[in-house]
Amino acid sequence: MQLSAVMLARLFAFVEPADLNPRGKVYYPDLVAALAEHYGFMKYPKNAEDFDEAKGVQFEMGRAGDVTISKIQIYQQGIVVDTTSSTGDSDRILDEALLWLSTEFGLIYKPDMISRRAYVSQLTFYSDIDLGGLNVALSRLAERISKRLPQFFGREIAYEPTGVYVSYDAMEVKQAPSNFSIERRAETPFSENKYFSVAPLPTDDHIAVLEAFEADIMSQSQA
């Protein structure tokens, strides 16, 4: 497996922003202006309607050292940080930002105030895996479709398994994590062996799971 790009490294930290400012001493617009300047955000809240935490108070296109911050969103029940490097960077940026604001503005923050952290990792990668080797039934299904299609479509097209999806019953889980999926990269020829994957995991764990999956398929094919 060869990593192509990290498309999204999202952290959702479950902490109520109101708990960070329990007595309302910190003036929200001052805090926002300081954050925008400190991280160089190109887009940040400027009008009263932009401070609606129900919709998300949004900061976009900033930077922390050599890490680009795609977006920070502040909601009533948590804070979302998006980067395109790793969820480890997203974690670090949130912790550093809250500690800095505690020092500069008097916010009340300790790391254990974040009750839970959830992740979404999206990345593209190259691999020689053959998804058709996962299951004989899937391969035969693709073959049957390929054989029947010409009489309706007018030409032969070879179908094959192109994705793997692993999920759960979303009706039983509140504030549910994302699904896990592997699929061929859209708008890319199959011959390039390029894939797109989403996981409810930190970036490094996501890569480790994909490497193990690739190894399993390869060993299965050899057997």
Q: Say if CB 211 and CB 142 are below 8 A apart.
A: no
Instruction: Catalogue all structural domains in the chain, each as residue range(s) with its CATH number.
Output: 8-121 (3.30.310), 123-222 (no CATH)
pLDDT in tens, 62-115: 999 999 999 999 999 999 999 999 999 999 999 999 999 999 999 999 999 999
pLDDT in tens, 8-29: 999 999 999 999 999 988 898 9
SS3 121: strand
Residues 6+ apart with CB under 8 A from 133: 139, 217, 220, 221
Instruction: Please report, as a single letter, which amino acid is at residue 156.
Output: E
